[in-house]
Chains A and B, each alone.
Chain A
Amino acid sequence: MRIFDPHIHMTSRTTDDYQRMAEAGVRAVVEPAFWLGQPRTNPGSFTDYFDSLIGWEPFRAAQFGIRHHATIALNPKEANDPRCRPVLDLLPRYLAKDGVVAVGEIGYDSMTPAEDEVFTAQLALAIDHDLPALIHTPHRDKARGTARSLDVVKESGIAPGRVLLDHLNEVTVEAARDAGVWLGFSIYPDTKMSPERMVAILHRYGPERVLVNSAADWGRSDPLLTLRTAQAMLAGGFDADAVDLVFWRNPVEFYGQSKRLDLSALPETDATFAGNSILRGGS
């Protein structure tokens, strides 16, 4: 089984996780830029973070044969801090990078006027840079946040087929489906979605245009919930082709719209020589 995790925050995960993911069949990941738990207070914090998403993380992933791409954006939560706003001016530099396959995560956290402004500006950046957009739906007031996100998408003029609306659930899936966007589900312990609920949703709506991710980050989360969900699909009567559609072909098709997805096999020795700077720790 080949797995593409289309939304995982590897910055917050250990190198052991990369190893476990590789053993579980994960061959590609997309790491969206998001917030780090501790709010940032200046643009320099963001550029160092973006640098690691296009530098250190792809290197670390490559040690385990995993292709790593990123999405870049100013996230909605920190969009509310005026000290972080200049990040918007730095984004075009990063949106030009080979490893950046979408603008994201953008969207709403608390649905403030500042979030409105930054969300709209970044959808325009996606259009300008010919990139798809990854949209986070809020954890609080989710149904209204989803509806409002879909309105903003419609107004922006970006094609719905170039939008992935993420963290959906039973309540929000239909509006997203009707709007013609790609449907993202985050399998996350306690909140968001479980493998069993996910399988029920797949039975009801089918596997077309559905992407399933672990959204693993610094919170209680599990990068192997992609595999668990794939297994639950098989146990629930789906065949291997449907599993491959959800866990490989759909994310490839969605992010492939950037024309920057590189899924060629990594040579054993890529980025490493006889020794290995990661397996052995810092020098």
Chain B
Amino acid sequence: MSTLDSLRRELGDRIAGDLDRVAANPEAAATLFPAAGRRYGREPLVGDWTTDEAARAVLLSVLPPEHIHEIYRYGDTAEKLAVLKALPLLPIGDSAVPLLEDALRTNDTRLVAAALGGYADHLEPQAWRQAVLKCVFMGVPLACVHRLAERADPELGAMLRAFADERRAAGRDMPPDALALLEQLKEA
């Protein structure tokens, strides 16, 4: 069973009617999606999914893919985070990469971190390396980066080393997780 199926099952009856509404009329999502926390609750549901996040993922799954961009465009931060979390579950190929690029342009640490989840596999290496470096710069823990150890390459190592030199010149520390990554890249 897919993650989406199990989220839908955990949500049960409380969302069934709304899913039918959105499937019949995608415009209904414009007001249901933002209201998810108030409508379905915010408590933990299953795994690392809260109820509102799960509801939003399931709502997205019944929307025509082209509507996902608009939901993201008009989303508040919690809605945007929920979209980013749901992306790897949706059958949308790489069509949502512009959403990651949008999140990575922000200065909101939560959005930057969320953009580096599973769907970041669709990011080109150059954009992905810049995003990882931005995490180090902003103090976002690198644990949020999906497949970091596998994807980290010598080019990323060179960028991190240059950044570590700048930090040293300024008398400032590098975050320990970035130092550990540099260490790993040296050994490779």
Q: Are B31 and A93 in contact (CB under 8 A)?
A: yes
Q: Are A92 and B110 in contact (CB under 8 A)?
A: no
Instruction: Tell me, in angstroms, the Cα distance from A283 to B137 when the chains sit together.
Output: 7
- Which B residues touch A99, using CB under 8 A? 76
- Among B21-47, those with CB < 8 Å from A are 30-31, 34-35, 37-38
Q: Are A271 and B35 in contact (CB under 8 A)?
A: no
Instruction: Tell me, in angstroms, the Cα distance from A58 to B79 when the chains sit together.
Output: 14
Instruction: Tell me, in angstroms, the Cα distance from A98 to B52 when the chains sit together.
Output: 12
Question: What is the size category of the interface that chain B forms with chain A?
Answer: 20 to 34
Q: Are A93 and B74 in contact (CB under 8 A)?
A: yes
Instruction: Tell me, in angstroms, the Cα distance from A226 to B138 when the chains sit together.
Output: 33
Segment of A35-43, A244-252, A273-281 engaged in the interface with chain B? A273-281
Q: Are A98 and B110 in contact (CB under 8 A)?
A: no
What residues make up the interface of A, taking CB atoms closer than 8 Å to B? Answer: 47, 51, 54-56, 58-59, 92-94, 96-99, 259-260, 271-278, 282-283
Partner of A273 from the list B34, B38, B107, B139 (CB cut-off 8 Å) is: B139
What residues make up the interface of B, taking CB atoms closer than 8 Å to A? Answer: 30-31, 34-35, 37-38, 74, 76-78, 80, 106-110, 134, 137-141, 175
Partner of A97 from the list B34, B107, B134, B139 (CB cut-off 8 Å) is: B34
Q: Are A55 and B30 in contact (CB under 8 A)?
A: no
- Which A residues touch B106, using CB under 8 A? 56
Instruction: Tell me, in angstroms, the Cα distance from A99 to B77 when the chains sit together.
Output: 10
Known: A56-B108, A273-B109, A275-B138. A97 touches B77 (CB 8 A): no
Partner of A59 from the list B77, B137, B139 (CB cut-off 8 Å) is: B77
- Which A residues touch B38, using CB under 8 A? 98, 259-260
Q: Are B138 and A98 in contact (CB under 8 A)?
A: no
- Which A residues touch B110, using CB under 8 A? 59, 271
What DSSP secondary structure best describes chain A's contact surface?
Answer: loop
Q: Are B108 and A271 in contact (CB under 8 A)?
A: yes
Q: How far is the CB of B68 from chain A (nearest CB, A)?
A: 15
7 CB contacts below 8 A, A to B, read A54-B76, A94-B74, A98-B78, A272-B139, A273-B139, A277-B109, A283-B107
- Which A residues touch B139, using CB under 8 A? 272-277
Q: Are B107 and A96 in contact (CB under 8 A)?
A: no
- Which B residues touch A51, using CB under 8 A? 74
Q: How far is the CB of A262 from chain B (nearest CB, A)?
A: 10
Partner of B30 from the list A47, A96, A259, A274 (CB cut-off 8 Å) is: A96
- Which A residues touch B137, using CB under 8 A? 275, 283
Residue of A nearest to B74 (CB): A93
- Which B residues touch A282, using CB under 8 A? 107
Q: Are A96 and B34 in contact (CB under 8 A)?
A: yes
Q: How far is the CB of A82 from chain B (nearest CB, A)?
A: 23
- Which B residues touch A58, using CB under 8 A? 77
Instruction: Tell me, in angstroms, the Cα distance from A59 to B77 when the chains sit together.
Output: 9
Known: A58-B77, A272-B139. A92 touches B30 (CB 8 A): yes
- Which A residues touch B80, using CB under 8 A? 55
- Which A residues touch B107, using CB under 8 A? 56, 277-278, 282-283
Q: Are B31 and A96 in contact (CB under 8 A)?
A: yes
- Which residue among A54, A99, A276, A282 has the maximum number of chain B CB atoms within 10 Å of its CB? A54
Q: Are B108 and A273 in contact (CB under 8 A)?
A: no
- Which A residues touch B35, using CB under 8 A? 96, 98
- Which B residues touch A274, using CB under 8 A? 139, 141, 175
Q: How far is the CB of B132 from chain A (nearest CB, A)?
A: 13
Partner of B138 from the list A55, A96, A283 (CB cut-off 8 Å) is: A283
- Which A residues touch B109, using CB under 8 A? 271-273, 277
Instruction: Tell me, in angstroms, the Cα distance from A99 to B78 when the chains sit together.
Output: 10
Instruction: Tell me, in angstroms, the Cα distance from A153 to B15 when the chains sit together.
Output: 37
